[in-house]
Amino acid sequence: MTVATSEKLPLAWSIIIYMAAIHLVALLALFPSNFSWGAIAVAFGLYWITCGWGISIGYHRLLTHRSFEVPQWLEYFFVFCGTLTCQGGPIAWTGLHRIHHKYSDTAPDPHDSNRGLWWSHMGWMMYDNHANKHIPRYTQDIAGDRFYQFCEKYFIPVQVVLGLLLYWWGGWPFVIWGIFVRLVLVFHFTWFVNSATHKFGYQSHESNDNSRNCWWVALVTFGEGWHNNHHAYQYSARHGLQWWEFDITWITVRILEFFGLVKNIKLAPTPSANQ
């Protein structure tokens, strides 16, 4: 894979404007007229659904790593929840994350942490990143799925429909908190996995990169912050391998297994991972 530095890459102005607009509209939440406890409750509920079910379960552990299996309809549901994070469609997200794991913290890694905290957090998205053109090679198993193609193409219109529903339900406060504030929070919480967990925390396993286990990132990402564990055992459905490494997503997977909705769970080859 050829690599270019950010100085040689053109700025991705569409992404820059997109991110700036979402962050600026989210600031409207500071106006007292846009505050309501109902709006905050909606934002929190959608944060759980989109970040916990959508990103952690759907996009990450299920679609990207195939750590377990669920019925097709349930897989589509979780991936659709991930679409509601507006972090791109499932095909691009999966491809970039697979590239990250293959080249973690080396030059071809799209958010190589050796280039600094800002770059790994969000700077890498501000350029026409070299990894984008390699996405098709890493997503051949899902690229032909028509539902994923729909999510890839229409994740922004879907978000608009959600916004209209929230406006009908609770007016502008529900839209500002349930869409824009929630998106900003989920953006940065997810990006912390690329940035903070490659700089802060402890390493339990040799993973040949800078990945670390960071408790506070795990707390806000439903268990994704146990990142060194994950990089050591990428296929494992459980990221928190010690009893103190609280992993809400893993608990959710076990609950779904209890109800017969999950099978073929892959786990790290350690005694604690099978408790």
Q: Supply the pLDDT for residue 245.
A: 97
Cα separation, 64 vs 96, in Å, equals 10
Model confidence over 76-105: pLDDT tens digits? 999 999 999 999 999 999 999 999 999 999
Examine the pLDDT at 272 and tell me if it is beyond 60. Answer: no
Q: What angle do CA 136, 13, 191 make, to 5 degrees?
A: 65
Cα separation, 101 vs 96, in Å, equals 9
Model confidence over 121-177: pLDDT tens digits? 999 999 998 899 999 999 999 999 999 999 999 999 999 999 999 999 999 999 999
Model confidence over 163-219: pLDDT tens digits? 999 999 999 999 999 999 999 999 999 999 999 999 999 999 999 999 999 999 999
Q: What average pLDDT does the structure give for the chain?
A: 95
Beta-carbon contacts of 164 under 8 Å, excluding residues fewer than 6 positions away, are none
* Best CA proximity match to 221, nearest among 50, 19, 84, 89: 50
Beta-carbon contacts of 95 under 8 Å, excluding residues fewer than 6 positions away, are 134, 135, 136, 137, 138, 139
Identify whether the C-beta of residue 47 lies closer than 8 Å to the C-beta of residue 239: no
